[in-house]
Amino acid sequence: MRKHIPLLMPYHGRPIRRWGKAVPDLRARGFKGSGFHLRRFHPAGVDVPGFQFSSFGAYVYVEIAASGLEGETLLDGTHFPANTIKSYQCSKRERIGTPPTFSFENDERELTAHAVLLALSDAHSWWTANRG
Q: Which residues pair with 73 in a beta bridge?
A: 79
Nearest to 16 by CA among 7, 5, 25: 7
Residue that wins the pLDDT comparison between 122 and 69: 69
Domain membership of residue 98 (yes or no) is yes
User: 64 and 123 in contact (C-beta within 8 Å)?
Assistant: yes
Domain membership of residue 107 (yes or no) is yes
At residue 90's C-alpha, the angle toward residues 32 and 122, to 5°, is 65
Domain membership of residue 3 (yes or no) is no
Q: Which domain holds residue 108?
A: 9-130
Question: Over the stretch 73-109, which tens digit does the pLDDT of each residue have?
Answer: 999 999 999 999 999 999 999 998 877 777 777 666 6
Domain membership of residue 28 (yes or no) is yes
For the chain, what is the domain count? 1
Domain membership of residue 71 (yes or no) is yes
User: 84 and 47 in contact (C-beta within 8 Å)?
Assistant: no
Residue 11: partners with Cβ closer than 8 Å, 6 or more residues away:
57, 58, 104
Residue that wins the pLDDT comparison between 125 and 16: 125
The pairing of strands 102-103 and 9-11 is unpaired
Mean predicted lDDT score pLDDT of the chain: 79
Domain membership of residue 105 (yes or no) is yes
Domain membership of residue 4 (yes or no) is no
Domain membership of residue 1 (yes or no) is no
User: 65 and 39 in contact (C-beta within 8 Å)?
Assistant: no
For the chain, what's the residue count? 132
